Structures are given as C-alpha cells and as structure tokens.
Structure 1
Amino acid sequence: MNLYDLDAERNILSCVFLENDVIIEGNRVNLCADDFFYTQHSIIYTYMKKLYDTNIGIDPVTLRSELEKNDMLEKAGGISYLAGLTALISVSDNVSFHMKIVKDLATKRSIKDLLSNTTKDIKKLDSKDLLQFSDDLKATLFDSGNVEDLIIDVSTIAPQVDDVGSIQTGFSAIDSATGGGLNFGTLTVLTGNPGSGKSTFLNQILSNAMSLGFNGFLYSGELSYQMSLDWFCKTVANPNHLSSCINSFGRYTKVTPEGREEILNWAKDRLFYYSKDATADEINLVNAIEYAAIKKNVKLFILDNLMTLECSGSDKYEKQIIAVKSLKNLAKKYDLVIILVAHSNKSSLLNREPHVFEISGASEIPNLADYVFKATRENSEPETYILLLKNRITGIIKKKLKLHFDSDRKRFFTQGKSELQKDYGYSPKLEQGSFL
C-alpha cells in the first residue's frame, strides 16, 4: 500500500493559489512542508509559506520569482508544473480534508520508518531504549492533525437552548417526572416480566408520538407483522371503528375494515417496521436506524426486545453491551428517542424494592440508559404499574403510575380516563361545505 496521495498534495497547492489564506488552515492542522511525499511539492509549499509570512501575494508569478531567486525552480518542477497546479480545481471547500489525508499519510510514513529502524536493533535495546521508542512514537502521533480532533476547546461550544425537545408519552405523570417527555438524544430501557403490559404501554407511546407529528419505527423480535399491526390498530382505533365478535374462545374485539384502511393511510410514510427478512444483528439494526432517521425522518424507535438481537461478541453479555452502546451513540448522534425492551431477571421476583439492576443481561445496560422504567402486575389484577427507576435528565425517580387496562380498546388509562378516550387523529376531518 502506497503511503502517499498525489492528488491530495496537488490539490492543496492549487488551493493556495486560489485562496492564499489556505495557509492558515495548514498551520491549524500543523501541516509542514516535510509532510508532502513528493520533493517538488515540499519545495513549493515551503516557498508559498515564505511568501505568505512576508505578506506577499501567492500566484504563479511571485512564486516563480521566489524559486528562481533561490535556484529552486527546476527542483520544484519548472514553470510548466506551476502553471498546471493553477488549473486543477476551482474551489477550496475540501482543502481541510485533503490536508488531513496528507498529514495522516506523513504520520504513517514516520511510524513505518521508526518501526523499521527499531526492529533492526531490537535485540540490542534495553528498557530505557524501549521507553524512548515509546515516547518517540507518541510524539509522532501527537504531531498528527487527527489527534487534535480528539479534544475541543470549551470556548468553541455553542450554548444549549433550555428546551432540547422531547416526545411526550401521553401519560401525564410520566411526562411530568421526565420534564416533558422522553428527551431527544436519549436511550430508554423498559423492563418487566412477560405479561406485565410492556407492549401495550409502548403501543400507546408510539401512537401518541405519531399524533404529535413524529414518525416511528418498530422492531419486534417476537410478533409477526400481522400480529404487531393488529395490536397497533386496536390501540389507535376510535370506538366507531371497533366491532364486537364471538368465536369458540369467547368474545373479542376487532377493527373494522374501514377503520383499518384509515389507520394504514394515516401511518403511510410515518410508521416503519424492521424487515423480518433481515438478520437482527447490531450492524443491520444500526444501518436501518440511520437510514430511517436520515431518509424517513423517524424520531422514535422502539426495539422489542434486547434478547432477540443477534450481535457480535464472545458471549451474550458482551453482545448486549455492544448493541446497547451502538443504540446510545445513534440516539445522541441523530437526536433520537430510542426505547429498548429488556426482560427482568429471575432474581427480580424476590426483590421487595425494585432497582435498575433487575434487567436481565449485562449490568452495564442500565448504566448506559438515560431512563429506566419497570412494568409490573400485582396480585393478578388487570392494572399495570409503571415505575420510573432511573431518570438522568431531571433526577426524579421512584415515580409510580397506576394504569387501568381496557381489553376492548387495548389501552391503558389513568383514573381520569383521558388516555382511554384519546383520539389519535387518524380519521380525516370533514369540513362543513358552503351552500352559497
């Protein structure tokens, strides 16, 4: 592999002709003449900087004059080579990128030479020599402009607005405790034993988000498309689109064909499911989330559940950590709200006092989460309790919300029943026509 880039080097020099202040950007990334692989480019950049430092404009005429004065014109490629550089590009927008390429390759050449020279005498080196080699290696790396990108001066950080934005859950007690809903850029973990109402709770959060104008995404590792969509439609449907039916198992409720059609029209280009044909590993899932966030403007992602993801790693705990870290990074990078379902571990049944480490799997998971909720059912009652176990945003925890369940509507509701009666807005609004 060649550790040089002819085009990048030539483009930098061309940019200096186009806009002399490009030299300032070179100084910022510590670009030196020696960083150029080609000797003529190193010479040209040296005399370009000399002209700039003496407040002389840099163009083919002034540069040629300076090179001739120092008997360096032929070594720099001659008049024709300088003229060729001026016609390479018309804008300097990408010069910083080209400089980083050249600087990075120069650093790698230096490391290669350092390693080569050290390898020859490796048997003769003592501990002191090896420490000196380590220091030389670090010094070479620190000279790279890429390393400087790892830190930032606090004076360059823009102030944060008071309201970073959030998606309301639709449950007033939770929205109040979290400061207005689930903040953008956060990862939420919802835990609880099977049958505790997690899926219903999430369906209502998803429906509420869509009623507020946010697009949604759902990954379900357990339900088919049809089962998941049927549950969603029942949650969203208004009473006029629900019908009561009876089969051999008893009475049940279904959404009318008209209601289902209206809901699907409402959800078109707004709600997306993860493909059942795709492997559910962290690479595919990350790619799907990035695509949905950028191309489909999705802001709310619900992933049900962690145990069904097939991730890389040597064991199941490492796999989970890799997956959750990837999700947390995505939430921060694209200002998303990501909700991840994780089952409770067996020991949680014995705990009288719920805590965040009841989550089944790696103990690092709750540490990565911004919010942790637990869904529970007590004494075989139809009510579900949602307990806020962690809240990194406002600090309010141990908030307990009691939810009643309506089996016909497939909805939870509080004592005020406002959630049960909520119209999510999927039906087209008919306007009174004029008879004049």
Structure 2
Amino acid sequence: MIVDKKTIQRAKQKLGDRNAMLIAEILGVEQFDSRNLKGLCPFHAEDTPSFIYDKKGYYMHCFGCGKSVDIIEAYMSTGHTFLEAVQFLFDHARIRYNFGELGVKTRRAYKYPKLEPLSDKTKVYEYLSKRKISPKTADYLDIRQDAEGNCVFNYYDTNDVLTMVKYRPSHRVDKSKKEIKNWCQKNADTTPLLFNMNRVNTTMPLLITEGELDCAAAIEAGYLNTVSVPLGANNYHWLEENWNWLEEFDSIILCSDNDEAGNKMRKEVSTRLGTWRTRFVELPLSVQDKPIKDLNELLYYGGPEQVLDVVLNAKENPVDTVINFADIQAVDLADMDGIQTGFQELDKALFKLFYGTLTIVTGINGSGKSSFLSQLVCNSLEQGCNVFQYSGELPAFQQKTWLNHILAGRYHVNKYMAGNIEYFKVNPTVQKDIDAWCNERLFIYKDGQSHSPQDMLNTMEAAARKYGCKLFIIDNLTSLAMGSREKDRWDNQENFVRQLISFAVKFQVAPILVVHPHKIETIRRLTKMDVQGAGGMIDLAHRILSLYRVQAADREPTGKKKRILEGDVVCDILKDRMRGYEGQSIEFFYDKPSRRFFTDYEDLYFQYGWDTEKHDREEDPIPVPQLEDRPI
C-alpha cells in the first residue's frame, strides 16, 4: 500500500521538535543537546556535535558526513518496515489512519513463494563478510540461507508480503564451470519488485542500485533508503510494476555498474523516471589501483565512508537538450572549423562553410547552381575534405562530366565545333589521374536509389561515419519524396531541414541544400521570400545564397540603377546568421571551357592537386573575353 505523503508531513508537523527527541532516542545520539537539538552523528566518528535538527524539514542532518535522517528512517534502522515506522509516527502524532491488515496477500491466482526458515546462516555470513557486508546488514535485509548454503534474498511488497525469492551461491561464481549466478524459487511466481522496497521511506531520496549486494553495500555504509532492481540492468519491467510507488519520490539516485549495460540502464531509467528528479552515482574507475565495477567493490576497496560520500554527492542528471551557459566555450568565428568556398571574395564575406551549419542555395534555372556547387566540391577536395553529393536531376555520369571540366581546367580541355556550335571536352589522357586523386574521397549517390528523406539521411550518416565526408551536397529538396499532399509536403520539408541541421551538428559537417525558388513573372534577383517550401526552412537555415545570371539589361546604365553589373553571375547573400551580414553580393565571371566561376587569372588557371605539371598561361589558345583588358 502507498501511504499519503501529505498525511505523513502533517504528522511530522504535529510532532514539531519532538521529531528530534525521538530520532535521538532511537539512534542513541550521544551528547544530545535537547535545547539546541544537536548531538554527535551516529553515522561517523566525530568530537564536535554536527548532527543538527532541521526545523523546516523535520529531520536531523549531519554537516560532517551529509547524512539526513527523519523519524521514519530512524525507526526503520532498528529493523522495522516502512509501514511499521509510519504507524509509529502516526501513533506519536495521534493521527488515525487505516492501514488495513498488513501482510495480506492481494494477488489473485498468484503462487506466493515460501519463506525459507530462519536457521544457521554461517555460510552466508562468511560469504558476505568477504564482501565487507556485516551480519547486522544481512539480518536487516532479511538475507537468509537455504539448505544448500545459498544466499536467499526475500522480496517483499509494500504491504510487507513476501512476493518473490531469489537465490545465489554463497561463494564466487565460477563462470568457466557455467555455474548459475542467481535464480528464483521453483514452483513460485515472480514479480519484478524492488529488493528492500518495504523498508524504504518515500519522503526521502531513494537510491536504486543494480544488485542486492550493491543495495547491501549502501546500507552497510549507512544509506538505508536503498533498493536494487530484481533481474539485471537490461530488464526494465520493474518500472511498470512499481510505477505508482516510484512516483511518490521527489528525488531518486541511480547507481548502476561501471559498464556498458550500467550506463544504458542509467540513461533509460533517468529518462523514464524524469531527469529533473534523478541524480546518478559516479563510481570511481579504480581505488588502490583496483578497478571498481559496482558499489559493493567500492565498499570493499574504499570503505563505507567512500560509499556514503559518492551517494550523498550524486551528480545531477544533465538534460541532454540544454547546456549550462558557463560551460559554453566562447569561440571566435575565425577559429571555427569548416570548409572554405575557394572563392576569395565569398570567403571574405562568409569566412567558411562552418561545420554544424546548414547553407541553402537557390536560383532560377540556368543561374549557374550546378557549376557553383561542383566547384565547391572540387575546392573541398583540394582542402582535404571528403564530399558526398546527391543530385535528383543529373545522373552520376553527368555529375562526373561537370566535375571533370572543373578539375581539368583550361590546360586540359579541347575545343570542338559541331557546325556553328562550339563545345569543349576534357582530354581523356588525364582522366586516370583525376580518378586517382578523387578515389575514396568523393562519393556520388547511386542512380535508381530511394529518394526517401530518411534513406537519404541514413546514407549521409553512413558516409560521415565510414568515409569521413565533411561537405554534403543535396541537390535538390524538390527531388526528395516529401509526400503528395501539399500540407504533408511542407511539414516534411521543414522536418527534413531540422534533421539536416541535427545531422550537421552531430557529425560536425557542412551540408548544402538546394531549394528552388517560387515561380516568378520576370527574371530578377531573388529575395528570401522567393525560396520555395515551408517558411520555417528560411528561419532554420544558417545561410542562404542566391545565384543570379546577369542579363544584358543589367550591363546598361539607367537612371534608376546605382551600379552596372559586369560579371556573368551574381551571388547574393540573402541571409547569414553566423556573421549577421546580409545583402552583400559577389560577382563572378563564368568560363565555358572549364565550367569554372572566377574573378581573375588566378582563379581561372588554378591547378587542383592532381595536376602537378607546370603550365604557361600564354600558351592557352582559347581567349578569355572577360579578362581581355587585364594583364596575364
């Protein structure tokens, strides 16, 4: 049964300072000062009284060891259960409460276990003493011995009814002989109760351990409000079984083993019970050069004082989704890691494509997005950053063709004529060197694969984990399967963008997402509001870049224009959350033979890492009209 905590609190309030008198009497507190309500702590050796009554909390607290004890826990320390202790409190406070009949079996058709008789416990005492657990603690926990000399752990429910019995050998288990470590009583049902839960005070912090001997270790050290899980770290049925009882606690401390299963248990339990009320015991990795796996080993090598210390100083369970302001390291943007675009003027404006951020690129058809993105890929490879590229419009061979032109540059392209049509092809003699340079560094999403957003994210995660890709090109959002209904499509697009940002932060990578603009009546430079899709995407993106192909009318002065556009393509920075600068524009020239964006000869004739030959620009037979008036 669960006793109403408000009634317990009312009983303590009625007793007032008598709480301190009764606690001192029950625990035998030495040098107790009935006027100042303080005395020597019964839980550790001290010469100056530091065990002092808290009038607001109605408990005694030691300012030396940190232990707190109310009247219920004090009475339970003498061997009584929680219900018996509450009865003791209510009797002294003269509060009537219907406890019903204690010890009544309430489970229908349940095969209750039989209580092993209290007999000789020599083997159990000997075994537990080797684990630094005293006969007093063994008796307190009602640990018994069966006819074969095994340890018997009795599990009682909150009505003090024996509901489950577990056994374990009273010696070190030999795994090589495949000896069973523990088992439940035969011919009896089992219920995932918590060991020692009937001796726990629901008004004080609860300590949950991973095993019965860890529970015994905590009690040996003086922390009585302790239970253990029944069937190992990976079994969580006890949460559902004891949920209402667990909800009574305002504070819960978790103490799992120093291993993977223990860490998993801590995360799972703290999440389900509530991180706001759970703390965790941080066990030392070693004591006296001995590795520490659990609380019982800490008792063995570190002693009861160290056990009590780690319990009373349990760590706050952090909320994974927030970070303490003081723990945030101030970082200058210039020091942040990322990938440079390779375009000097654009890098002056952006610094880098910072890891952990999302960049959206937009522009109408023919604005130069494919060339721009392909050049970003090549520039990333030049910086030693591996790349993943997805195109929903271009098959893999066309993506390679585009990249080949940029990587080859003017030194390795040949001019051809088909009638009056001029076109360019990469010299096939350099393909082998380009492939070798890109090998295991540039990864293209296979043709014919799923266009599901989740499949795309899964592939990107694999590319980040296995191949160490740092730049991710997703071209474009519309080509991903976002649903047929308009509302679903907008919601799914915004959700994908959120997942993309989480992916960028988790793996410290720089994704670029191409998003088409809405249909516009006339060809013009775009604004943020022209970006197609859910409006939330605009707010979520860290940066938005828009490409605009310069029109003939842009090159002619008019009365309304402030400046003439001289380049072939303009990159407008529509949004830059990182630097806070928006509205900047960078003009590029476009070179058809190499399919490169450039601003000067250095950009145009840049040699990527695969090309180690020395070349003479003056020998290039193909003219560069945009730079005719500039010296080579």
TM-score over 0.5 (shorter chain): yes
What TM-score does the superposition give when structure 2 sets the normalisation length? 0.49
List aligned pairs for 1:64-213, cutoff 5 A.
65-70=135-140, 72-74=142-144, 75-76=152-153, 77=166, 80=169, 83-84=172-173, 105-111=237-243, 141=274, 143=277, 149-150=319-320, 152=322, 154=324, 157=327, 159-162=329-332, 163-178=335-350, 180-213=351-384
SS of 2:515's partner is: strand
C-alpha distance in 1, partners of 2:469/2:365? 28
Cα deviations across residues 181-209 of structure 1 (Å, max 9, x unaligned)?
Answer: 11111100001101100111111111111
By percentage of residues, which structure has more helix?
Answer: 1
Corresponding position of 2:132: 62
SS of 2:551's partner is: coil
Quick one: which of 386, 396, 406 aligns to 2:581? 396
Residue 502 of structure 2 is aligned to residue 329 of structure 1: yes
Quick one: which of 232, 235, 252 aligns to 2:406? 235
SS of 2:579's partner is: coil
Cα deviations across residues 411-434 of structure 1 (Å, max 9, x unaligned)?
Answer: 1111x332211111212569xxxx
Corresponding position of 1:422: 606
Corresponding position of 2:513: 340
Query: Which stretches in structure 2 are left out of the alignment for 5+ residues?
Result: 1-81, 83-112, 114-127, 145-151, 154-165, 182-209, 211-227, 248-270, 281-316, 555-566, 615-632
Quick one: which of 225, 229, 233 aligns to 2:396? 225
CA 248–109 in structure 1, closer or farther in 2 if over 3 Å, else same = farther
Residue 350 of structure 1 and its aligned partner are, at CA, apart by 8.0
Residue 426 of structure 2 is aligned to residue 255 of structure 1: yes
C-alpha distance in 1, partners of 2:447/2:134? 65
Corresponding position of 2:547: 375
Residue 173 of structure 1 and its aligned partner are, at CA, apart by 1.6
SS of 2:547's partner is: strand
Is the Cα–Cα contact under 8 Å of residues 266 and 426 in structure 1 kept in the other structure?
yes
CA 171–210 in structure 1, closer or farther in 2 if over 3 Å, else same = same
Is the Cα–Cα contact under 8 Å of residues 235 and 409 in structure 1 kept in the other structure?
yes
Quick one: which of 455, 459, 474 aligns to 1:303? 474
Residue 284 of structure 1 and its aligned partner are, at CA, apart by 1.1
Cα deviations across residues 115-141 of structure 1 (Å, max 9, x unaligned)?
Answer: 9xxxxxxxxxxxxxxxxxxxxxx9954
Residue 62 of structure 1 and its aligned partner are, at CA, apart by 2.4
CA 348–306 in structure 1, closer or farther in 2 if over 3 Å, else same = farther
Residue 215 of structure 1 and its aligned partner are, at CA, apart by 0.7
Quick one: which of 522, 531, 534 aligns to 1:362? 534
Residue 61 of structure 1 and its aligned partner are, at CA, apart by 3.8
Q: Which amino acid aligns with 2:383?
A: L
Is the Cα–Cα contact under 8 Å of residues 482 and 488 in structure 2 kept in the other structure?
no
Residue 164 of structure 1 and its aligned partner are, at CA, apart by 1.9
CA 188–108 in structure 1, closer or farther in 2 if over 3 Å, else same = farther
Is the Cα–Cα contact under 8 Å of residues 104 and 145 in structure 1 kept in the other structure?
no
Residue 261 of structure 1 and its aligned partner are, at CA, apart by 1.7
SS of 2:132's partner is: helix
C-alpha distance in 2, partners of 1:348/1:324? 28
SS of 1:315's partner is: helix
CA 140–302 in structure 1, closer or farther in 2 if over 3 Å, else same = closer
C-alpha distance in 1, partners of 2:516/2:612? 38
Is the Cα–Cα contact under 8 Å of residues 206 and 216 in structure 1 kept in the other structure?
yes
List aligned pairs for 1:284-299, cutoff 5 A.
284-299=455-470
Is the Cα–Cα contact under 8 Å of residues 237 and 409 in structure 1 kept in the other structure?
yes
CA 114–67 in structure 1, closer or farther in 2 if over 3 Å, else same = closer
Instruction: Tell me the matched-pair count.
Output: 344
CA 105–422 in structure 1, closer or farther in 2 if over 3 Å, else same = farther
Higher deviation after alignment, 287-296 or 154-163:
154-163
SS of 1:251's partner is: strand
Residue 316 of structure 1 and its aligned partner are, at CA, apart by 1.4
Q: Which amino acid aligns with 1:393?
A: M
C-alpha distance in 2, partners of 1:105/1:164? 46
Cα deviations across residues 77-100 of structure 1 (Å, max 9, x unaligned)?
Answer: 5661674499999xxxxx8xx999
CA 211–150 in structure 1, closer or farther in 2 if over 3 Å, else same = closer
C-alpha distance in 1, partners of 2:464/2:532? 28
C-alpha distance in 2, partners of 1:209/1:104? 47
**RCO higher in structure (CA 8 A, sep ≥6):** 1
Residue 259 of structure 1 and its aligned partner are, at CA, apart by 1.7
Query: Which stretches in structure 1 are left out of the alignment for 5+ residues?
Result: 1-33, 35-39, 41-57, 90-94, 116-137, 431-436
CA 104–387 in structure 1, closer or farther in 2 if over 3 Å, else same = farther
Is the Cα–Cα contact under 8 Å of residues 73 and 79 in structure 1 kept in the other structure?
no
Is the Cα–Cα contact under 8 Å of residues 410 and 593 in structure 2 kept in the other structure?
no
Runs of 4+ with >6 A deviation: 85-89, 112-115
What TM-score does the superposition give when structure 1 sets the normalisation length? 0.69
Q: Which amino acid aligns with 2:573?
A: L
C-alpha distance in 1, partners of 2:419/2:326? 69
Cα deviations across residues 302-349 of structure 1 (Å, max 9, x unaligned)?
Answer: 111110001368621112112211111111111111001011112485
C-alpha distance in 2, partners of 1:413/1:228? 20
Residue 456 of structure 2 is aligned to residue 272 of structure 1: no
> Percent same amino acid at aligned positions?
26
Cα deviations across residues 49-105 of structure 1 (Å, max 9, x unaligned)?
Answer: xxxxxxxxx97442263444436122425661674499999xxxxx8xx99966965
C-alpha distance in 2, partners of 1:240/1:306? 35
Quick one: which of 454, 458, 476 aligns to 1:283? 454
Is the Cα–Cα contact under 8 Å of residues 411 and 420 in structure 1 kept in the other structure?
yes
SS of 1:206's partner is: helix
List aligned pairs for 1:307-322, cutoff 5 A.
307-311=478-482, 315-322=488-495
